[in-house]
Structure 1
Amino acid sequence: MDEFWVFGYGSLMWNPGFPYEERLTARLAGYRRSLCVRSYVHRGTEERPGLVLGLDRGGSCKGVAFRVSEPDWNHTLAYLRERELVTSVYLERSVRLVLGDGRQVSALTYVIDRSHPQYAGNVSVDEAARVVHGAVGRSGANPVYVANTVSHLRELGIRDQWLESVVDAIAKFDHTG
């Protein structure tokens, strides 16, 4: 391996938790960002699950690619596995990215395991908003997680119309009770 890149599409984009030498926007074809993971710990509970992001099949996803320096490869990989593979809802994959500067690289990322019980499938905007609204877990309120994701995406110049629609639908719940 000549280079080690990591692709982030959710909280890894602004909170990678590992050192890196380079950070660029990137596009991954064949997968899309989706609120398709039932959260029983961080953004919900077993009784009132929330939804968090996963990479699901279809479409494309714009996110952030991080190039990790060689001395940090092993530590970064161990950290990511501890962070992302806790409940085995994600599968570790090597994917091809197109970086913001046009380069193409291989990167490590985590995609949803569709056979895992936490996989929520394709939910509508209204269903996602209903599930997210009021869900709270160890890491905080689920609506805050979704709104922060949209805010950080916008700061990076990334628009995610579906996720923005979920935030708008959650706001309607807040106004109607």
Structure 2
Amino acid sequence: MKLSSLQSIYAREIIASVLTASFGCSSAYTFATMVLWVFGYGSLIWKTGFKYDERVVGYIKNYKRAYTQGSIDHRGTIKEPGRTVTLEYEEGAITWGAAYRISGHEEAKMTLAYLDLRERLYDVKEYLNVYTIDSSDKPAITGVLTYIATSNCANLCYLGPAPLEDMASQIATSHGPSGTNAEYLFNLEDALLKMGVECLDDVTRQLSSEVRKMQKAKSGGALNNHILSSSHISSPRMSGVMLKIQ
């Protein structure tokens, strides 16, 4: 016996209420309606790698973009990790990015599997609200899946903050299977600018400028091979990283 449209909606609401009690509101809505929203604030802005039905440019509140996550599998190596972005809580801050809507159970399932592998070094999944220029007071989308790398000891690749010049030096020289760390930085800068000048954060802008200066100096023969030990971190956390990602 087929359910009417009204009965189907009612059934989904019942399922959602049950899942809410078990998994929380955001997860329940995702599973019950078979719609997945994902927020990207780094490489997902320009290189998604999955099919999506809708892309919304927007921002999240009270988080800032930070280059504190080590990359040993994409833009660096274990000996010389690159720096990629994560989110750090900061009251009043905003971070621009892109939210993607994936519809259908199978597509959502495949997307989650793909992202779990791609973002495997990011230790926390958060469900955040996304705002747009037209909806600064009320979220345009609620409960959007976001991958975050934290400073928790479980995250063996967390590098932490460093002076701007040290981070720029590390980014200018690191490279991995996905390409150079500088390319990652410049791609992110370009992607943010394409969304709007207001979307580019100060740290990305300053790092891009500093890395370009270093590249220009190196091409002119003026840059020595100075790489600060504090930049290419070999902290105790990095030991055993291969065991984690294999």
Indicate whether the TM-score tops 0.5: yes
Equivalent in 74, 88, 108 of residue 42 of structure 1: 74
Q: Does 1:117 align with 2:160?
A: no
CA 1:101–1:90: 2 relative to 1, 3 Å: farther
Partner of 1:75: 110
Q: CA deviation at 1:113?
A: 2.1
Equivalent in 178, 182, 195 of residue 139 of structure 1: 178
Alignment of 1:162-177 (within 5 A): 162-174=203-215, 175=217, 176-177=222-223
Distance (whole Å) between structure 1 residues aligned to residue 117 and residue 132 of structure 2: 26
Secondary structure of 2:131's counterpart equals strand
Which string of whole-angstrom CA distances, capped at 9 and with x for unpartnered residues, describes residues 8-63 of structure 1? 00111121112111111111112211111111232112222211111222222110
Richer in strand (by share): 1
Q: CA deviation at 1:100?
A: 4.5
Q: CA deviation at 1:122?
A: 2.2
Secondary structure of 1:123's counterpart equals coil
Equivalent in 190, 195, 206 of residue 156 of structure 1: 195
Aligned-pair Cα RMSD in Å: 1.6
Kindly tell me the number of residue pairs found equivalent between the two proteins.
175
Q: Does structure 2 conserve the Cα–Cα contact (< 8 Å) formed by 1:65 and 1:99?
A: no
Letter of the 2:211 counterpart: I
Distance (whole Å) between structure 1 residues aligned to residue 73 and residue 115 of structure 2: 18
CA 1:22–1:101: 2 relative to 1, 3 Å: farther
Q: Does 1:92 align with 2:125?
A: yes
Alignment of 1:22-33 (within 5 A): 22-33=54-65
Distance (whole Å) between structure 2 residues aligned to residue 127 and residue 101 of structure 1: 38
Q: Does structure 2 conserve the Cα–Cα contact (< 8 Å) formed by 1:36 and 1:56?
A: no
TM-score relative to the length of structure 1: 0.90
Q: Does structure 2 conserve the Cα–Cα contact (< 8 Å) formed by 1:99 and 1:105?
A: no
Distance (whole Å) between structure 1 residues aligned to residue 165 and residue 188 of structure 2: 18
Q: Does structure 2 conserve the Cα–Cα contact (< 8 Å) formed by 1:24 and 1:100?
A: no
Distance (whole Å) between structure 1 residues aligned to residue 189 and residue 76 of structure 2: 19
Distance (whole Å) between structure 1 residues aligned to residue 113 and residue 76 of structure 2: 26
Flag the structure with larger Rg: 2
Secondary structure of 2:173's counterpart equals coil
Which string of whole-angstrom CA distances, capped at 9 and with x for unpartnered residues, describes residues 134-175 of structure 1? 111111111111111101111111212211100111122221
Letter of the 1:151 counterpart: D
Secondary structure of 1:133's counterpart equals helix
CA 1:90–1:99: 2 relative to 1, 3 Å: farther
Deviates more, 1:68-77 or 1:21-30: 68-77
